[in-house]
A and B are shown apart, each in its own frame.
Chain A
């Protein structure tokens, strides 16, 4: 089927708001190429469960597409029209399974050596869409905080090496009450600009006491869900004919209730947590991977003004089948390995933050928990330097924000 054949009744399986959204823009969708439309539907079908920022972006994109003149549309999508797709892809139920379609499209593009051209075309489209929207100024500079190294008492190798040239390395930080100071500071930001899903606290272990104004996701709180997911995966893998692609399709169809997520009152956050576990690699078994991927996805999707991530020791590496089948807490942990993981994850946190609007005013702080080392990046802080000033975390955060 081609997009030109789309009918509104084909979207009856979509959640209500997504169905209405697509119906409102059906004429525009009919004019677009098959190599493009399922990617857009992949986002639209999740509309009911998306963060406010994401919903606004989809609405703007559809509006822009609806307002294109025929000439503009031809120019925008000429390159997309040039990709050859297989008859199997054309027959696929891409209306109801757009995510699975895009996975198969990706595999097809790889195998036919069209992937690089597709990447280029998609990137060019992304630039076009972004440049068609003037971003609204942020109500406050974006702030990222990474707290790494929990459980490590001594570490004699250099930390923050990927970030040092971007900011100031502090080596006389006063660690007393540091975590409490940071949590209080992000709570204050959340109270000052209380927008939903704009102030996050992610913990790779059991979350510390925190303000209810924060959106909180923690590895510890997800223990039962992780256990249910791993059991579900184990059961599926025993099914005849089950392979990686089939398993991925199965995971993509899971809902929060399938895994016994009680906190379904917040459907948006529940779906987000579910996706972290079903789409992330290693998030089910390593707390450091969970925290890193959660931060990455929170930044990409919710574009928070504040995101604090605290890493906890992950379990020591064991045989993969044992890691996947044994979810008991209390297993042996690897604090030093986790510090190395988290040091890299902090770098990725900063990179992902810099991809967002207002990057030139944003601030970032990474602290070796309980220790005197930290690195701060902010609009007014010098880069590539060290400071031996004695500062507590509260003062350091103020310096970071300028």
Chain B
């Protein structure tokens, strides 16, 4: 059968597990060799994460998803490192780097990011504006630690992410999670129909470019620009005119949020890279380079903001990878449809407060382990998460 024949030559001589381990090893060997980072399993002392109650109250966490979907060969593999100079030269040496993160869930951006926030492999329709089925990290954080709504925020790329701030769990749910800012939605709401020169910032869904879900949920409204971000519509639009991509707009809003609200839990989802779905390799590479630069920009902001400097832990991780060049069921970098090892195996970088610098951990972990790990660090229990806290954070 033609469809099955496509898959026949894809596996080659290696199993998915071997390929995933190989990807992990190559990241580890590079980071240890070129950057002189230590192997985490060789360190036997206790976790560096400070858990004194007073420290916890001041602790801030920023999670950046390096999305949507980047492969090793365009990032941490030798031939890809030129695309991520900031991650390689500036951030990795200061980080604890986890070389082997797998995502066993559905590889759609919304459902995968929702899974990252809940610690459960969600099965919702990737293209529907529905909330996750399980409580999100924002709900655990706010309820267990009695934090106000202003202390947890999400900045997300497209309208499809507007329900990611809180679940429909009956023990949590509406009003108990994070507010979601959709910068592109804000921009288009400023002057409907009169932003022709800003269309490049309004690109929405690269996988189904003509589909834009209707908004419904706890999203940030235009009236709150001035009230919360202390930003006039005119200044917002004027600054937007200086930017070149939706992720740049997201980072601009995230920085403004840090300055005005200084949330303790901030989640930023990048998406420019997903232009790869158009099949133009050069645009995919441009997206990776831009995301690399924006991650460093956010890290520098952390260092320069008094509320964040010295007490912030930042996590950077892709939501997942993309298909391998050699899987005949896919078309290489263009999509993430095969579920092969290259599309499921990624990495995670942790930087900042309490993090051992220059350490490489190559124990396999899953992307759903992030939420319980954040719980271990911040002092909440991710009761319904199916992940396990990463032991380096315990």
User: Which A positions have Cβ atoms within 8 angstroms of B?
Assistant: 39-40, 42-43, 54, 57-58, 61, 102, 110-113, 115-116, 119, 122-123, 125-127, 129-130, 161, 233-234, 237, 243-245, 247, 280-283, 285-286, 288-289, 292-293, 296, 300-301, 314, 317-324, 334, 336-338, 340-341, 343-345, 347-348, 351, 355
Contacts and interface: CB of A to CB of B under 8 A. Distances in A.
Given A127-B8, A317-B283, A351-B326, A300 B199 contact: no
- Give the secondary structure class of A's interface: helix
Choose among A285, A321, A334 the residue with the greatest number of B CB atoms under 10 Å from its CB. Answer: A321
B279 interface: yes
A348 B5 contact: no
Contact of A281 (B210, B278, B329): B278
A129 B5 CA distance: 8
Contacts of B285: 340
Nearest to A36: B1
A289 B8 contact: no
A300 B2 contact: yes
B334 A320 contact: no
Contacts of A318: 199-200
Interface residues of B, number: 51
Contacts of A321: 199, 202-203, 209-210
Instruction: Tell which of A286, A338, A341 has the most Cβ of chain B within 10 Å.
Output: A341
Nearest to B106: A110
Nearest to A129: B1
A24 B182 CA distance: 57
Given A40-B1, A244-B127, A341 B6 contact: no
Given A115-B339, A126-B1, A237-B210, A286 B202 contact: no
Interface stretch (B9-17, B231-239, B262-270): B9-17
A111 B106 CA distance: 7
B104 A340 contact: no
A123 B7 contact: yes
B229 interface: no
A341 B2 contact: no
Given A126-B8, A244-B127, A351-B325, A338 B282 contact: yes
B203 A282 contact: no
Contact of A61 (B1, B210, B211): B1
Given A115-B339, A244-B127, A247-B208, 18 more contacts: A43-B2, A58-B2, A122-B3, A123-B11, A126-B4, A243-B211, A280-B279, A281-B277, A286-B278, A289-B280, A300-B2, A314-B280, A317-B275, A321-B202, A324-B210, A337-B280, A341-B282, A351-B326
Interface string B181-204: 000000000000000000110111
Nearest to B277: A281
Between B207, B208, B285, the greatest number of chain A beta carbons within 10 A of the residue's beta carbon is seen for B208
A284 B285 CA distance: 21
Contact of A348 (B9, B275, B280, B332): B332
B209 to A, nearest CB: 4
A39 B199 contact: no
Contacts of B121: 113
Contacts of A355: 9, 328
A330 B329 CA distance: 35
B331 interface: yes
Contacts of B338: 119
B333 interface: yes
B203 A344 contact: no
B211 A122 contact: no
A43 B5 CA distance: 12
A282 B7 CA distance: 23
A185 to B, nearest CB: 28
B335 interface: yes
B206 A320 contact: yes
Given A116-B339, A282-B278, A348-B331, A244 B208 contact: yes
7 contacts: A43-B3, A110-B107, A247-B211, A280-B279, A281-B277, A320-B209, A341-B281
Nearest to B279: A289
A321 B335 CA distance: 20
Contacts of A320: 203-204, 206, 209
Contact of B127 (A40, A130, A245): A245
A123 B8 contact: yes
A317 B283 CA distance: 8
Interface string B1-36: 111111111110000100000000000000000000
Interface in B289-326: 325-326
A293 B279 contact: yes
